[in-house]
Structure 1
Amino acid sequence: MTDRPSIDALRTALIALALALIAGCASQKPEPTDEPAAEPAQSEPEPALKTEPKVTREDVKPSHPVRYTVKRGDTLWDIAAMFLRDPWVWPEIWSVNPQIENPHLIYPGDIITLAFRDGEPRLIVERPGMPEGGDGYEKLEPQVRERSLDEAIPSIPADAIRQFLNRPRVVTAEELERAPYIVGNYEGRLISGEGNDVFARGFEGSEPDADRYNVYRPGDPLREPDTGEILGYEALYVGKAAVRQGGDPARLHLTESTREILRGDRLMPADRQFARGEYIPRLPDERVDAQIIQLFDAISQVATNQVVVLNHGETDGAEVADVLAVMQSGGTVQDPYASAEGTETVELPPQRVGTLMIFRTFERVSYGLILDATQSIRLNDTATNP
């Protein structure tokens, strides 16, 4: 029979040996291996933003001039079109010279050149009298150089849109209903003109709230092409009037008339908005699918520097300086070779025929200036993202 104390002593010795072995293993450092240590699981990283330039060599016209001297009558759009396939990208590639505070204000005599920096195209403005190089390290002597803003060439043809900026041309039915109206003149004639006094009613209170008014005649409604919904009314400008005496009726003097002024013509406070000095073109933030619903000074088609109305307004996200491509239906052709049974009608894809820029917005519609056109632009042509 085995002695009990001997068994207990053996068990104690074995336990001590096991503890020693465990401690020794824990104190040893693992041998280095070629396999990388496993990293803790992490969430999927977000994809990196693209860093490629928005404008590349492919966007430059092969036939661009080496140097161009700005002339009176030029516009920034026209100059950009000499160098770029898509002129609206010019703000992205202006190379700002330290001596030129705002390259969007350029003047006759300035020199425009195209250069590539790190593979990206740059339009460079050089001004006579600037130190050569334009790298900003030349020591410049203090001097005063004054140039009138009126001398700067415009971004777009300002004369083409000026009349649309200082006269509101689209109104709602409610605005027409609330507007004061002409009821007659001293002589009792139906027609008045520049130099005549007229009387008007409909002012809130006994005194007019403005001393100068534009005179409008309600025009045709602007409708959504697909549904016929009225988006607004064209207000036809017919003259200007200055208040001579308040009351009901109020007395006004006609200071201008572009056509005969009639009873029922409406009065609206003169809009003080004028043409902006700069329109820096931009691509719309959202998808645009609009139609041309009216042409100004034309019956069926317009061309460069003419104005159109779009069924795309502030409620749709329209913003001033948005650039859109004008697309025209490709029509249909007959394909007699498609099958033996007979001729098949094939609808051609739409083609791009021009570019426009929105220059004034209203609630449901906007005005666009045709900046370039490869062929006549028609009523119901579409306008979308370039």
Structure 2
Amino acid sequence: MLLFKILSYLAGYVTIALPEDCLEKFINMATSRGIFLWGISGVGADRVTLKVRLSGVQPLRHVARMTRCRFTIVEKAGLPFAIVKLRRRKTMLLGALFFVMALYLSSSFVWFINVSGNKSISEQEIKEVARQSGLYPGAFKPAIDGEKLEKIIINRLPNLSWVGVYFDGTRVEVKVVEKVLPPHNNLNAKIDIVAAKDGLIKQILVLQGQPLVQEGDTVKTGQVLISAAIPPPQEEDELDNPEESDREPQEEEQTVKYVQAKGIVKASVWYEGYTEVPLVEKGENYTGHEITKLCIKIGAKEIILMGPRDVPYAKYDTRADGKKITGWRNINIPVEFIKVKYLEKVDYTKTYSKAEAFRMAGQSAIAEIEKDIPSGARITNKHYEEVKIAENENMVRVKALVETIEEIGTEKPHPLS
């Protein structure tokens, strides 16, 4: 229907009026000659109006003579008549053409430059490099090579790992990604390895530092596992040798050595979870039926281009997506195209047996626990059990337990560092 209206406007059409008593034979003869008529309506005084394209007016005059039914043109509409009116107003036509040309030419230049993604590098520094490469407010867009510009900016700013230049009308978006430099590793730093979680030590491998726990020990979060402080080696008792004991003590005093502790500490870690599942579940489901409405919003007025005016569903969800026409300079164009989807929903009720609800609750509780388990952990045991609070309640409550073996050591500065 929309396409027909557009084609009719481009070709031009007229509204004619004729007596009601000859309408039937007039329409029959016009239709037999391939002349399409539409928009038939009464206007009173036994007269009716109907619409016909401009190309069908001349053939209709022959139909009128043969049916002895005279008609009069009461309205003219469409592009051909608009052009005729504009020809009579040459100044207005020239002004409109000048405006269109000025709008087109202005859209061929860059007026706005936005920079995003930068943190340590200033926006002004990136814009200055872009300006030197030919991108600046007022630059001619066809003369700008986006790919070449990206390479120039990366070469001149070595702290950038990626640059993207995007054109959107008169606006240019320069998106950058800065290089992530590795943290400075101070080999002289005093670092302890501490427990990131509670657990039972299963394996400890010390590469550097002093171990403070051993396999089989239970540790708490924050407890030091491998210390950065290495005590001096203990000397053997020399009391059995009197001559040695009479010697003066050594002047050099052995001190504690500090290092950056390194090692691997694996422990058994336990995770708990809790889930409830009702024996009678009520909710809403999507039926799979949906309808789409397209409309254009001009200011506060909304015009439906496609789709129903009223939603035929009793319950539904709405998902809308709108696109506004980009403004030009300080001119805001209040036109927005809106696409709205209506998804039908229905109520449902589902009943579970106690065994089904127990299984579902257990699986759900374990699934929630597994979201918190790190990727490198190895699950060694899963278990869940029912938690009873009251008799004959319409709810199954489940407590789940998952055991893993995982690396729990994490670095922490030594207190004396």
TM (norm. structure 2) is: 0.16
Indicate the structure with greater helix content.
2
Question: Which structure has the bigger radius of gyration?
Answer: 2
Indicate the structure with greater strand content.
2
TM (norm. structure 1) is: 0.17
